[in-house]
Amino acid sequence: MNDRRAPSPHDTTADAGQGNVADSMSAQTRLVHVGRHPRQQHGMVNTPVYRASTVLYPNLAAYLNHDQEFEYGRRGTPSSRAVEDVITSLENGAGTRLTPSGLSAISCALMSVVGAGDELLVSDSIYEPTRIFCNGYLARMGVTTRYYDPGIGAGIAELLTPATRAVMMESPGSLTFEIQDLPAIADALRGRDISILIDNTWATPLFYRPLELGADIVVHAGTKMFVGHSDAMFGTITANRSHWDRVKTTHGDMGLCAGADDCFLAARGLRTLAIRMKEFNTRALDMARWLEEQAPVRRVLHPGLASHPGHAIFKRDFSGGGCTFSFALPKGPEEAIHALFDGMELFGIGVSWGGYESLIILPQFTNNRTVTSLPEDEQLVRLHIGLEEPDDLKADLKKGLERYRTFLD
């Protein structure tokens, strides 16, 4: 296959009578135009769903020389390329590959930078399935994983050994929302053969640009913000130029690919990402501020709040926030938390986030903390703030908090 670099805004045209989408265009404009080629699709605005395995060649020479853009369905189609181009443009990367889920994107990215005998440093606040993959599969493959305090910053230099080959982080952490000082970590690792990987699902490249702050590989659970409608599983991996060949090769060797229909749903979702992220940022922060004033809430874990320990770094490195955050209640009897959850009318009890519907979950910390701990007298609750009327959501939460309080008095 002629596995060329996924196009950047320099070589991507919307073909919608607007000309080339150049670097001067805003991210919101790129989301609308990059990856679409109506002139190549009989004038259709959206790239069609290409369900393909076999791709034909015009002649034997083209087959022998791998002389065409698409050669086999698993290795890419116009449906997947439409999404790859958008993500590469937004992240300012060298290329992007798509996977069937966020976890498969994380797994592939990690396997592209570590091997037997290597050591991996992972944030203690990492997405729990990442921890399971590291402690299970990578351990069986001879990779040692050590966990670090997400607030370590430049202090990560003290944890390095000759075997350290990569650092995996998520900022903020998906349950406890610690913000990491990526520039400080990148400076501490400068000049060493150590890769930096980061999960950027929460903020998206609209609000956070990790490759520009020192990361080498960025992954997304595209299931969430990119798809945006809770109806497709999807993952993305974007790398800088020094790591792109590694990611591309590992992705191909593992036989990963996202389904054509999921690519279409992701492309559809991306076109409205900027508008949704603007709303999510405003709504979640407003809800977080409101919750800070509600009884019996002890604290709210949203990095956009001045009370958050990582707020200064958030203000410096991020231009906005995502749709999820957590809050802490004083620990109560089991009946209290059931009363809070089971009486909710608008907040559905379900994992994931990023869709239009609001969600509530009870974070579990049985096996996913190694070097940090949480107050034992607190009960953590995580919210995803959807697109319902904010006052209706507040009323639903207020009733839930009142139910919880009755068990504390």
* Helix and strand totals (H; E) in the chain: 15, 12
Nearest C-alpha neighbor of 271 from the set 100, 48, 29: 29
Report the distance separating Cα 233 and Cα 258, nearest Å. 9
Query: Does 74 qualify as catalytic in the annotation?
Result: yes
Strand, helix or coil for residue 99? strand
Q: What is the largest CA-CA distance in the chain?
A: 80
Give the alpha-carbon dihedral of 166, 168, 171, 176, to 10 degrees. -140
Spatial separation of the C-alpha atoms in residues 263 and 265, rounded to whole Å = 5
What is the amino acid identity at position 309?
Answer: P
Non-local CB neighbours of 227 within 8 Å, separated by 6+ positions: 234, 262, 265, 266, 269, 354
Which DSSP helix (H) or strand (E) runs through 147? Answer: strand 144-148
Q: Which of 5, 15, 74, 271 is catalytic?
A: 74
Q: Is 199 a catalytic residue?
A: yes
Round to whole Å and give the CA distance between 299 and 323.
Answer: 18
Secondary structure class of 197 (helix, strand, coil): strand
Q: If you write DSSP's letter for every residue of 303-318 in order, what string do you get?
A: TTSTTSTTHHHHHHH-
Specify burial of residue 54 (Cβ count, 10 A radius: 0-12, 13-18, 19+).
exposed
Please identify which of the residues 85, 124, 181, 199 carries the catalytic annotation: 199
Q: Which of 50, 127, 208, 404 is catalytic?
A: 127
In the set 30, 36, 81, 224, the catalytic residue is: 224
Residue 117 forms beta bridges with which residues? none
* Alpha carbon distance 236, 218 (integer Å): 8
Closest CA to 3 of 260, 251, 267: 251
Annotation marks residue 5 as catalytic: no
Q: Is the CB of residue 239 less than 8 Å from the CB of residue 95?
A: yes
Q: Identify whether 356 is a catalytic site residue.
A: no
User: Cα separation of 180 and 57, whole Å?
Assistant: 49
Q: Of 280, 168, 285, 286, which Cα lies nearest the Cα of 224?
A: 280
Active site residues: 74, 127, 199, 224
